Amino acid sequence: MTATPRTYWLEHAWLGTHVEPGVALDTTDGRIAAVRTGVPAPPPGAEILRGLTLPGLANAHSHAFHRALRSTVQVGSGTFWTWREVMYATAERLTPDSYHALARAVYAEMALAGITTVGEFHYVHHAPGGAPYADPNAMGEALLAAAAEAGIRITLLDAAYLSSGFGRPPTAHQSRFSDGDAEAWAARSSLLKDRDHARIGAAVHSVRAVPAEQLSTVARWAEERRAPLHVHLSEQTAENDACREAHGCTPAQLLALHGVLGPRTTGVHNTHLTAEDVSLIGGSGTGTCMCPTTERDLADGIGPAAALQNEGSPLSLGSDSHAVVDLFEEARAMELNERLRTRTRGHWTAAALLRAATVDGHAALGWDDTGVIEAGARADLTTVALDSVRTAGPLPRLGAETAVFAATAADVRHTVVAGRHVVRDGAHTLVPDVPGALAQAIQDLRA
């Protein structure tokens, strides 16, 4: 994922603290070589990015195959647990080829939305029935290839998923998720390797899915590799109740007891936490990935994101089930949810929300040199139109506020990854018909 040297001229650029007009970026070997401000017109031969250019967005939590559930799961009512049964039925039909086709289209949809890196929380490892494929990582490799073909970066968060609940074996639906035990999970995951566009990380699916005595094996695997480690944490009150019954403590306390929390760890959702949980997570430097569009879609609740950040937990954002793929909406929803909960406004500035969607999201996925527009950083960029029906009118200096509180994914005009145009003028350069690819992949999966 490298590109030839080129210069980009940004009509307006978000430089982390302010909007700067007229910025030229020189890129080489996929990185920003120089940032030149005060350039009022495009230099000769420069690629022109009109609108507001941000660092590329990081989608820190994805389950690519959930995209096939969009709209289908909106028929009738139900709970998270009934939604999960529909999800299991979809997972059962996946093959390496069908997962590759679907994920390629989903990641292309993300590129169209300005997302340059995805954290794929991956747990569909084996064939239906639980037998390994000839290549035990065939499903993970399909995801890595899909991201490369869609032109984005990926952190494959390979998930340990070993039980259906505290002390219970996997159900028939979950048999293809399980490696049997954490040691077998570690042996299989160790076969996956980093590459130019990809990082390999780890995940504990949840405290109900990994026996307590095996949590440390997953944590040690990530520690030895200095890899990111993610975990679904307290998404549902039922998980908290079951954990207390089994272990006499909350899920966050159980993770702390077994060495899972820490600066390379990110808790996903972190919705139903006690005050002690919030202190444990923040005090250990564990991150929090909020997924507001999924959390509201599944009626999960509103997590204490502000309190977590105040205690020291860095925030990132994810589209999770892909009810929509729109990081601007995720950022906006985090603030607006908090307004509804507290009946006060202004918990995060637009700059702080953009930080969660860019540099802190990338850090949560192990890309510490990505998510800023400065020399030495990876040349990953997202350009938002400032002249659409949603964004027209505000002064350009309010570009951050416009992006977060008015723009949608439909306003993304350009996406650049490693100095290469992946989306140009709203069209994907590598996947010519993204809607068609999505429709075909989902249709084939249902057949």
Residue pLDDT, tens place only, 123-178: 999 999 999 999 999 999 999 999 999 999 999 999 999 999 998 999 998 999 99
pLDDT of residue 77: 73
Q: Letter for the amino acid at 440?
A: Q
pLDDT of residue 3: 65
Q: Which DSSP symbol is given to 132?
A: P
8 Å CB contact between 289 and 316:
yes
CB atoms within 10 A of CB 345: 9
Give tens-digit pLDDT for 368-417: 999 999 999 999 999 999 999 999 999 999 999 999 999 999 999 999 99
Beta bridge partners of residue 35, listed in sequence order? 25
Q: Letter for the amino acid at 408?
A: T
Alpha-carbon span 94 to 51, nearest angstrom: 40
Give tens-digit pLDDT for 265-314: 999 999 999 999 999 999 999 999 999 999 999 999 999 999 999 999 99
The CA dihedral of 64, 277, 304, 239, to the nearest 10 degrees, is 50
Average pLDDT over every residue of 339-346 = 96
Q: Is the pLDDT of residue 2 over 60?
A: no
320 is a catalytic site residue: yes
Alpha-carbon span 379 to 53, nearest angstrom: 12
The H-or-E segment that residue 253 falls in is helix 251-257
**Torsion sign (Cα): 65, 67, 72, 74:** positive
Token reading at 5: 């040297």
Q: Is the pLDDT of residue 1 over 60?
A: no
Give the residue among 342, 341, 355, 343 at the shortest CA–CA distance from 309.
355
8 Å CB contact between 384 and 413:
yes
Give tens-digit pLDDT for 209-261: 999 999 999 999 999 999 999 999 999 999 999 999 999 999 999 999 999 99
Choosing from 125, 205, 269, 421, the catalytic residue is 269
Give the residue among 392, 369, 348, 425 at the shortest CA–CA distance from 58.
369
Q: How far apart are the first and last CA of the chain?
A: 34
Distances (CA, A) of 213 to 35, 166, 270, 280: 50, 11, 22, 20
pLDDT of residue 294: 96
Region at 16 (left for phi over 0; alpha for psi -120 to 50; beta for the rest)? left
The H-or-E segment that residue 116 falls in is strand 115-122
Alpha-carbon span 349 to 279, nearest angstrom: 23
The distance of Cα 267 from the centroid of its chain, to the nearest Å, equals 12
Q: What size, in residues, is the chain?
A: 447
Tell me the DSSP string of 134-197: SSTTHHHHHHHHHHHHHT-EEEEEEEE---SBTTB---TTTTTT--SSHHHHHHHHTT---BTT
What's the half-sphere exposure (Cβ side, CA atoms, 13 Å) at 212? 18
Average pLDDT over every residue of 190-212 = 98
Mean pLDDT over each residue of the chain, to the nearest integer: 96
Alpha-carbon span 240 to 298, nearest angstrom: 17
Choosing from 158, 277, 300, 320, the catalytic residue is 320
The distance of Cα 2 from the centroid of its chain, to the nearest Å, equals 22
Distances (CA, A) of 319 to 4, 56, 181, 251, 427: 32, 15, 29, 23, 21
Phi, psi of 232 (to 5 degrees): -65, 125
pLDDT of residue 447: 83
Distances (CA, A) of 89 to 64, 143, 205, 400: 15, 20, 18, 41
- Helix, strand or coil for residue 439? helix
Q: Letter for the amino acid at 56?
A: G
Residue with tokens 């040690």: 220
Q: Is the pLDDT of residue 78 over 80?
A: no
Give tens-digit pLDDT for 13-56: 999 999 999 999 999 999 999 999 999 999 999 999 999 999 99
Alpha-carbon span 391 to 386, nearest angstrom: 5
Question: Whole-prediction pTM value?
Answer: 0.97
Model confidence at 108, pLDDT cuts 50, 70, 90, reads very high
Alpha-carbon span 359 to 362, nearest angstrom: 5
For the CA atoms of the chain, what is the radius of gyration? Answer: 21
Alpha-carbon span 124 to 89, nearest angstrom: 12
Q: Is the pLDDT of residue 76 over 80?
A: no
pLDDT of residue 216: 98
What interhelical angle do 182-189 and 215-225 show, nearest 10?
Answer: 20
Model confidence at 75, pLDDT cuts 50, 70, 90, reads confident
- Residue 245 makes CB contacts below 8 A (sequence gap 6+) with 166
